[in-house]
Chain A
């Protein structure tokens, strides 16, 4: 990696003991428990001695251009989480079956777990960290809070990115359409009612936001 990505400011950086800090501190012991995903990520970072080919990739991430030299097996999901430390984008199934990893690529929602970073060379990606700021949330983020569009929050970044895509693709017409076109995002907590309401509520503001950006 040849870039030094800006980290979003977050309480983690102020030395408090956080859940994320704890997880990182026990990375060695949890690697085994986390199983194939971590192993896959380590392979993808060149940890596998048999080695994959390396590729040079340029990507615009949340508005800033970055260049990387990567093991070719790196997915966009591996890239944002492992190399950029943008951990808002979540790993669920890692196989296109849950939507937790949803990001926008050139403004269009995709599953980052199934896209090789090499195949996205030259393109522009937006993750949840690039949508709003701590002080000024994106209307979809506010709508999720106002409508209780989550419980544990694990699926939420993917839901919100997908919701923005759903609206800008023109598929948030009524409740039935929102349900159909948001079906690529599973929520184990079953917050679907709040999610559907949030998408409907933030539709017009999201369209305005899309026009402005």
Chain B
């Protein structure tokens, strides 16, 4: 690890005032939450912040429900705590499942929801700190496009970068029209969660719309009653403790066999947390059968661009969507309610 200064603010306002300008590509200052992304990358010298501003003392670690049913989820709630919170587990299982199917119990005990959505790609060329990588070293090129790109994205890529967004929870959160609440020297704002991450295009080093001193304080979302019919399908190289090769977050509002509304998020296959809106629109008003579920999967991957080693992600992702839809439709919610 390169030397850095360690700063311990007393509260969120102090944290924002203290943090060195964060910049892009990880060379500026940074907040330290659970540290499971940033300490890892600092050991690899992939990021070399001059200082870390520890969020340990700032609170923001509760999930609260307002009178109108809006959930306020603090940025420092751990993945472990959120996975078991009844607001997620019982009312929108996809938000719980995408957490407990991620990383390991040890990591989830410290990793926070703020750090989670901002985790960096697992692209091996980004992490090796040697290969050309426009995300790590802007303008140097992309070793992944012509390299071993088995793990990388097929949706939302550009000629500068095909690194996939590796996280799980963001693909579930994006289903619920959540917003991100932030604080910065200028005050704060509320950003639609779907607008937080930006496509790589010509500047893959820039991953979010967050400013140089902008702290995520939490998320706001409203969980519709029908979200009990939701789940997370995660296909990976081993059964547990592995990133997604392809995943599908699915929530369904059903009227008998007919879809009133479907929401579908994709993970492991895209450069940012991904919502498959065309597939959702196709399903609305359809009866859900194996055929329509497969068709929705196909639509979700319309326009996918596979590379030499990751073409398998297209059928894998389509099938994950279809499986998610069919499994969600057949959830026995009445039976569960009786338990």
Give min CB distance, A197 to chain B, whole Å.
Answer: 18
CB closest chain-A residue, reference B6: A72
A51 contacts the other chain (Cβ, under 8 Å)? yes
Within 8 A of A (CB), among B1-20: 1, 3-6
On whether the beta carbons of B105 and A96 are closer than 8 Å, the reply is: no
**Across the interface, which residues of B come within 8 angstroms of A127, CB to CB?**
none
Segment at the interface with B among A27-35, A129-137, A179-187: A179-187
Within the complex, which residue of A40, A48, A53, A102 is in contact with B43, where a contact is CB–CB below 8 Å? A40
The answer on a CB contact under 8 Å between B43 and A180 is no
- B residues near A (Cβ < 8 Å) are 1, 3-6, 32, 34-36, 39-40, 43-44, 52, 54, 56, 80, 100, 103-107, 109-110, 239-241
A44 and B109 contact, CB distance less than 8 A: no
Contact A43 B36 (CB under 8 A): no
Please indicate which of the listed interface residues B5, B32, B56 has the most CB atoms of chain A within 10 Å of its own CB: B56
Minimal Cβ-Cβ distance residue in B for A53:
B5
Q: Contacts of B4 on A, CB cut-off 8 Å?
A: 52-53, 72-73
Q: Shortest distance in angstroms between B70's beta carbon and chain A's nearest beta carbon? A: 29
Chain A residues, Cβ within 8 Å of B103? 96, 184
Supposing A109-B105, A184-B104 touch, asked if A96 and B3 sit within 8 A by C-beta, the answer is: no
CA distance A48 to B4 in the complex (A): 13
Residues of B within 8 A of A171 (CB): 105
**Quick one: given A52-B4, A181-B105, are A95 and B43 in contact (CB under 8 Å)?**
yes
Is the Cβ of B107 less than 8 Å from the Cβ of A96? yes
Q: Is A119 an interface residue (CB 8 A)?
A: yes
> What residues on B are CB-neighbors of A53 within 8 Å?
3-6
CB contact between B109 and one of A52, A108, A118, A180 (< 8 Å): that residue: A108
- Report whether A183 and B241 are in contact in the complex, using a CB–CB cutoff of 8 Å: yes
A184 near B107: Cβ-Cβ < 8 Å: yes
> A183 touching B6 by the CB < 8 A rule?
no
Within 8 Å of chain B (Cβ to Cβ): is A195?
no
A200 contacts B by Cβ under 8 Å: no
A115 contacts B35, C-beta separation under 8 Å: yes
Is A114 in the interface zone, CB < 8 Å from B? yes
The answer to whether the Cβ of A116 comes within 8 Å of any Cβ in the partner chain is yes
Contact between A111 and B1, CB atoms less than 8 A apart: no
User: Which residues from 161 to 193 on chain A have a C-beta closer than 8 Å to any C-beta of chain B?
Assistant: 162, 165-166, 169, 171, 179-186
Specify which of B3, B4, B40, B104 lies most central, judged by the most chain A CB atoms within 10 Å of its CB. B104
| Minimum-distance CB pairs A-B, first 3 | A184-B104, A183-B240, A52-B3
Residues from chain B with Cβ under 8 Å of A108 in the complex? 109
- B56 with A119: CB separation less than 8 A: yes
Q: Is A206's beta carbon under 8 Å from chain B? A: no
Are B104 and A183 in contact, with the CB atoms below 8 A?
A: yes
- Say yes or no: A119-B106 contact (C-beta < 8 A), given A94-B43, A95-B40, A179-B240: no
A119 CA to B56 CA, complexed, in Å: 7
Q: Measured between alpha carbons, how far is A204 from B296 in the docked complex, in Å?
A: 47
Bound Cα distance A182, B115 (Å): 23
14 contacts between A and B (CB under 8 A): A52-B3, A53-B3, A55-B6, A72-B5, A95-B44, A99-B106, A111-B107, A114-B34, A115-B35, A116-B6, A116-B39, A169-B80, A181-B105, A184-B105
The answer for the CA separation of A95 and B43 in the assembled complex, in Å, is 8
Q: What residues on B are CB-neighbors of A111 within 8 Å?
A: 36, 104, 106-107, 110
